[in-house]
Structure formats: structure tokens, C-alpha cells
């Protein structure tokens, strides 16, 4: 079977991880890079030991006859046109989060992909973190019963030392703390709890620290989520904290509790008197090289080859984004907001 050709748009930090993941997969080959500056694209190719075509015109990349997959690793304000263009060109899509900077643009991407029939994955890459797999297995085994309270928190100081800082601080690109970074936590809440979020309430603040003073929006938010069946969830996104990276997961069920890689379940472990710790690779770094892109790419390839839809295709990812946009609206307007309102 011939390899699937890949074209990558974007030549920054996360693009390097996309390149390495596609290069590691025996079913894919990176054939082209596209960047705003030819010199940057060529330097990216050299750094990653690629012999490939170089473009500065995204339309020309879409015309490449050997490219089957477009990997979109650009800032979020570029995603709408690039994702819709890829879908219309019948190219499968790997799309970095946030998938768009407005709800309308995210919806347009969703609809274009649905109309084209191409396969897609939005890069909520933590779904392939080993701890996530362990938690999903425990939930499937009914270890803690029905989860009625879920908390997922994202603490990551994104200051001038972090590569996405220069655009992340801008409201028209980063948009919000929740959308630019904390969306990983919101997606995890959905992934673990299931069901439909119907209403959100958000509060935001700025700590005022000197390293984070350039943010054009509240760099800290707390969002309460109400599910259709009455369950509740909470997502904190703090990108101005001065501490090591923390991705906190706390799921309280009718028969026990999961707290990160610890579980308390007398149903599963009779006689248990303290937390049981499961050794695991944790989601404990904001460095993109720590994220499991290799598994994400392998999943996309499997979906393409088998003709199946991903559990995190653009239609599913739209639901996470819809909640984030509603939450940010709640924060701006100072009131609860219903999803779809």
C-alpha cells in the first residue's frame, strides 16, 4: 500500500512535533511544508531532515497531487480558511486547537468537513496520554459508579519564555485563557463525564503579575458546567500562575473517586483504607514534545484507512469549543449562558 502524503502548514514549535509524528508513522510521508516565509519553511525542513516541497501559498499546497492529509499547525486565527480549504480540496485534516477564534468559524469548519466527507482529528492530544487511558478504563469498569461531579484544572504559566506567548496574549488570536489553553481541560471533562453540557457560568480575573501583564483578556477563569442530567463540572484555566505545570483531574462518583492517578473504590478494592496509586505517565508538562502526537497521528491514519470517524473529529471538537465560547460569553456578560443560546 502506498503511503499517505502529508502537507504541513505552519513552521513553528508544534509543527515540529507534527512532522516527527508523521515521519515516525510507516504509513505516512511528509511531502510538503507551507509557511508565510520561505526561509522559515526551509529552515524547518532542514531542522527535521526533510526533503520536501516548500510553499508560501497555501492554495498551492492544496493543489499538490501527492498530498492526502493537511496538518494545520498555525495560530488559531488562520484555521478557518485553512481547514475549510483543505476540506473542499478533499484532504484529510489534522487541526491544532483551538480550532477557530469564533463560534461561527468553528461551525463553518464543522460543516465544511461534514460536507466533504474527509476524516479529521482536532488536536486534543491529551486523549492519548496514558493516564487518560487508565481513567477511561476505570470508568468503563464501573470502578467509581456514575460520576456526578467532575473537576479538571489547567495551571500553566504562559509567559514571555513560552513560544506561543507572542500571539497568545492577543485577544483576536488567543481569544481567552479557556480557549487558548484551558480547552484541554474542558475537553477532558467532556471525555470523562460524557453527557451534554447545557449551561455554563464563568468568572474571570487577572492576577496582575509583571510577567503576564500583556494579556488582553482575563488570564484566569473558573467555569461551572451544568449537565443535562443535573450533574456538575468545574474547569479552571490559569495561564498566569507561577508554579510547575499542573493538569488536575478529580472525578467523584457514586461508588468512589478518581484523583489523577489515584483511585478510591471499595467496590473494586474491598477493604481499601487509603488511596490506591496507579503508576502512569502523567499529563504534567506544557512542553509540546511531551504530548503523545505519535499516537494521535496513528489514530488519524487508522481512521482514514478503515473509513471510520475519530472520537475527536471536528464535529466532536466543536462541542468542546461551543462550551468554551459560551463560558467566555458568561464571563463577559456576568450571567449564566445556555449552550446554543
pLDDT tens by residue, 161-187: 998 899 999 999 999 999 999 999 999
Query: Dmax of the chain from CA atoms?
Result: 64
Q: What is the pLDDT of residue 123?
A: 97
The CATH class, in words, for 127-285+320-338 is: alpha beta
- Angle among Cα 167, 169, 173 to the nearest 5 degrees reads 55
**Along the 341 residues of the chain, how does pLDDT read in single tens digits?**
689 999 999 998 899 999 999 999 999 999 999 999 999 999 999 999 999 999 999 999 999 999 999 999 999 999 999 999 999 999 999 999 999 999 999 999 999 999 999 999 999 999 999 999 999 999 999 999 999 999 999 999 999 999 889 999 999 999 999 999 999 999 999 999 999 999 999 999 999 899 999 999 999 999 999 999 999 999 999 999 999 999 999 999 999 999 999 999 988 998 999 999 999 999 988 776 678 999 999 999 999 999 999 999 999 999 999 999 999 999 999 999 999 98
What letters, b where the CB count within 10 A reaches 16 and e where it falls short, cover 128-156? bbbbbebbeebbeeebbeebbebbbbbbb
CB 152, CB 249: distance < 8 Å? yes
Return the number of other C-beta atoms located less than 10 Å from residue 340's C-beta. Answer: 7
Q: What is the pLDDT of residue 287?
A: 72
> Does domain 4-126+293-311 correspond to CATH entry 3.40.50.720?
yes
Burial class of residue 31 (count of CB atoms within 10 Å of its CB; 0-12, 13-18, 19+): buried
Q: What is the pLDDT of residue 1?
A: 62
Delimit the domains of the chain by residue range.
Answer: 4-126+293-311, 127-285+320-338
Give the phi and the psi of residue 5 in degrees, each rounded to 5. -80, 140
Q: What is the pLDDT of residue 13?
A: 85
Radius of gyration, alpha carbons of the chain: 20
Burial class of residue 117 (count of CB atoms within 10 Å of its CB; 0-12, 13-18, 19+): exposed
Q: What is the pLDDT of residue 48?
A: 92
Q: What is the pLDDT of residue 288?
A: 65
CB 323, CB 190: distance < 8 Å? yes
Q: What is the pLDDT of residue 267?
A: 86
Which residues does 140 contact at the CB level (< 8 Å), separation at least 6?
none
Q: Give the C-alpha separation, 320 to 52, whole Å.
A: 35
Domains 4-126+293-311 and 127-285+320-338 agree in fold: no
Q: Which residues pair with 92 in a beta bridge?
A: 69
Handedness of CA 307, 311, 314, 315 (dihedral sign): positive
Report the C-alpha dihedral over residues 286, 291, 304, 8, rounded to 10 degrees: 60
Predicted structure pTM score: 0.96
Q: What is the pLDDT of residue 68?
A: 98
Strand duo 276-277 + 262-264: pairing: antiparallel
Amino acid at each position: 500500500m502506498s503511503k499517505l502524503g502529508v502537507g504541513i502548514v505552519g513552521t513553528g514549535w508544534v509543527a515540529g512535533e507534527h512532522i516527527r509524528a508523521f515521519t515516525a508513522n510507516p504509513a505516512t510521508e511528509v511531502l510538503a511544508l507551507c509557511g508565510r516565509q520561505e526561509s522559515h519553511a526551509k529552515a524547518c525542513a532542514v531542522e527535521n531532515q526533510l526533503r520536501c516541497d516548500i510553499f508560501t501559498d497555501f492554495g498551492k499546497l492544496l493543489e499538490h497531487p501527492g498530498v492526502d492529509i493537511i496538518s494545520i499547525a498555525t495560530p488559531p486565527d488562520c484555521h478557518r480558511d485553512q481547514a475549510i480549504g483543505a476540506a473542499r480540496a478533499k484532504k484529510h485534516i489534522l487541526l491544532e486547537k483551538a480550532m477557530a477564534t469564533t463560534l461561527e468559524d468553528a461551525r463553518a469548519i464543522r460543516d465544511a468537513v461534514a460536507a466533504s466527507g474527509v476524516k479529521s482529528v482536532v488536536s486534543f492530544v491529551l486523549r492519548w496520554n496514558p493516564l487518560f487511558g487508565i481513567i477511561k478504563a476505570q470508568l468503563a469498569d464501573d470502578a467509581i459508579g456514575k460520576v456526578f461531579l467532575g473537576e479538571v484544572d489547567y495551571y500553566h504559566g504562559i509567559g514571555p519564555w513560552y513560544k506561543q506567548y507572542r500571539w497568545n496574549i492577543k485577544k483576536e488570536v488567543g481569544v481567552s485563557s479557556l480557549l487558548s489553553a484551558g480547552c484541554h481541560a474542558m475537553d477532558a471533562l467532556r471525555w470523562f463525564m460524557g453527557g451534554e453540557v447545557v449551561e455554563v457560568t464563568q468568572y474571570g480575573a487577572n492576577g496582575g503579575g509583571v510577567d503576564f501583564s500583556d494579556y488582553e483578556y482575563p488570564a484566569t477563569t473558573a467555569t461551572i458546567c451544568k449537565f443535562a442530567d443535573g450533574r456538575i463540572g468545574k474547569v479552571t484555566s490559569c495561564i498566569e500562575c507561577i508554579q510547575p505545570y499542573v493538569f488536575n483531574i478529580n472525578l467523584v462518583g457514586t461508588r468512589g473517586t478518581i484523583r489523577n492517578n489515584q483511585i478510591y473504590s471499595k467496590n473494586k478494592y474491598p477493604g481499601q483504607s487509603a488511596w490506591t496509586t496507579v503508576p502512569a505517565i502523567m499529563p504534567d508538562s506544557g512542553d509540546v514534545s511531551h504530548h503523545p502526537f505519535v499516537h494521535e497521528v496513528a489514530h488519524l491514519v487508522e481512521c482514514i484507512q478503515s473509513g471510520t470517524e475519530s472520537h475527536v473529529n471536528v464535529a466532536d471538537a466543536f462541542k468542546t469549543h461551543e462550551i468554551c465560547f459560551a463560558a467566555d460569553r458568561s464571563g463577559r456578560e456576568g450571567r449564566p449562558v445556555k449552550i446554543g443560546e
